[in-house]
Amino acid sequence: MKLSGLLSRTNHELPGVTGVARVDRRVSDLVRRVSPGDVAVFDLVDLDRRTAEALVAAEVVGVVNASPSISGRFPNLGPELLIEAGIPLIDNVGAVALREIKEGTKIRLHEGVVYAGERELAKGVEQNAESIADAMIEAKAGMSAQLEAFSANTIEFLRRERALVLDGVGVPEVYVPMRDRQVLVVAGGPSHAEQLRKLRKYIREYRPVLIGVDTGADTLHDAGYKPDVIVGDPDGIGTASLRAATEVVVPAQTDGHAPGLQRIQDLGIGAVTFPASGNAEDLALLLAEAHGASLVVTVGLRATLREFLDRGHSGSNPSTFLTRLKLGSKLVDGEAVATLHRSRVSMGVIVLLVTAAIAAMVAALAVSGVGHVYVDIVVDAWQSVVNWFKGFFS
C-alpha cells in the first residue's frame, strides 16, 4: 500500500499536462467524441480554425498533431486559437505516434514530448505564441500559390456543380414558406451565440425563417427559438433540436450516401437529403435563395480572405465563394444587421421625447398664469405631431 501511494504521488507530481488520449486520423470524427479533460491526437496538415474552435469548445487539455499545424502554404488560423485558449499544442510528432499512442490511455504532455507515465511515446515541437507568430509571418509568403490553387479548385467545382449553383437544380423542396420573407441562417462559427443574442429585437420585429446549420441548430434551440429548418449532419445535433425543427435537411454525398440519416430514422423524424459536394452552410444559403428569400442574414458564417484560404485544403471553399456570389446583395452579415438595428431610434423613444417637451411647455404656461388659454392649442399641436410620426414610420 505504501509503494502504491508513493507511485501515485510520483505520477501526480510529474510535470506537464495529463489527459485521456482520443486518437483518430479523421479529425471530423474525433471532434465529435472528445470530452473535457481529453488530449486530442490526430494527423492534420494546417490546423484550421473550425477544428480548433471545436477542440476549444470540447475543453480538451492538449492537442498532439502528427503533421505540421502550420505548413507554410498560407497563414491558417487554428494553432493561434488553441494557444490563446491555453491549450498545449505538440506539433509534427510523426504518423508513428498514432500507433504508439493508444486510444483511452492516460498520457502526459511536457516540453514537446508525449509520455505514458515516464515512458516516452512520441516527440515533436511544442508550439507557443512566439513560434506561431513567426510561422504565420513566413506562411504569408505562400498566399499567392494558395490563391492560384483556390482559383483552379473554384473552376473545377463550378464544372461539377454548375447546375446547382447557377440554376438551383437539386435543391430539395421544403414546406416552410420562404418566398419574399427574410431568412436567418445560424451556423456554429465564432461568437455565434453572442451574435444571435444581439439579434433578438430583429427576430422579434421581422420574424424571419430560422435555419440552423449543424451546431447552430442547438444554439437556436438553447436561445428559446424553434428552428424552422435544420441543415446538417444529425449525428452532431442534439435530439431536442431535431425534434423541435419543422423540417430537417441532411447533406448527402454525390453518391447519395448521407451521414447521420440512420439517426434521423431511429428518432422517427422526417427528413430530406440534399446531394451536393458543398458544406452545410453553403447548402443552407442555396436552399434559402432557391426558395425565394428576400434577404438572408447570417450568424456564425465566415467569408474573409484568410478564412477562405484557411479551409483551402477542404475543397469546400469554392462552394462558399460561389454561393456568396450567387446570393449577392441578398446576403447580409448578422453583425451589420444588429448594429443598424441598435442605431435606429424607435418611434416610442421619439414620442417620449416629444411628450416630455410638451409637458414641460404646458407646465411653464400654467406657472405663468396663461396656460389655460393655450391648452387646446397644445393638444391640437400634439395630435398633429403624433399623426406625422405615424405616417413617417408606417
- pLDDT tens sequence across 146-166: 666 667 777 777 777 777 777
Task: Please tell me the distance from the alpha carbon of residue 304 to that of residue 338, in angstroms, as a whole number.
Answer: 19
Least-confidence region, from 9-18, 97-106, 371-380: 371-380
Half-sphere exposure of residue 30: CA atoms within 13 angstroms, side-chain side: 24
**Residue entry with cell 398664469:** 369
Label residue 184 left, alpha or beta by phi (over 0 means left) and psi (-120 to 50 means alpha).
beta
Q: How confident is the model at residue 129 (pLDDT cuts 50, 70, 90)?
A: very high
Q: How confident is the model at residue 181 (pLDDT cuts 50, 70, 90)?
A: very high
Task: Please tell me the distance from the alpha carbon of residue 322 to that of residue 157, in angstroms, as a whole number.
Answer: 9
Task: Please tell me the distance from the alpha carbon of residue 27 to that of residue 41, in angstroms, as a whole number.
Answer: 9
β-pairing, 209-213 vs 182-186, is: parallel
pLDDT of residue 248: 93
What sign does the CA torsion over 295, 299, 301, 304 have? positive
pLDDT of residue 335: 86
Task: Please tell me the distance from the alpha carbon of residue 394 to that of residue 387, in angstroms, as a whole number.
Answer: 11
Least-confidence region, from 94-103, 107-116, 242-251, 303-312: 303-312
| 212 contacts 241 by C-beta, under 8 angstroms | yes
Least-confidence region, from 22-26, 95-99, 299-303, 308-312: 308-312
Q: Is the pLDDT of residue 54 over 50?
A: yes
**C-alpha pair distances (Å), 250 with each of 214, 261, 294:** 10, 7, 24
The proportion of the chain whose per-residue pLDDT surpasses 90, expressed as a percent, equals 40
DSSP string, 221-233: HHTT---SEEES-
Least-confidence region, from 135-149, 230-244, 281-295, 306-320: 306-320
Q: Is the pLDDT of residue 391 over 60?
A: no
- Residues with Cβ < 8 Å from 389, sequence gap 6 or more? 347, 350, 351, 354
pLDDT of residue 168: 73
More confident residue, 339 or 317: 339
Q: How confident is the model at residue 227 (pLDDT cuts 50, 70, 90)?
A: very high
- Residues with Cβ < 8 Å from 13, sequence gap 6 or more? none
Q: Exposed, middle or buried: residue 75 (CB in 10 Å: 0-12, 13-18, 19+)?
A: buried
Task: Please tell me the distance from the alpha carbon of residue 324 to that of residue 286, in angstroms, as a whole number.
Answer: 9
Q: Is the pLDDT of residue 384 over 70?
A: no
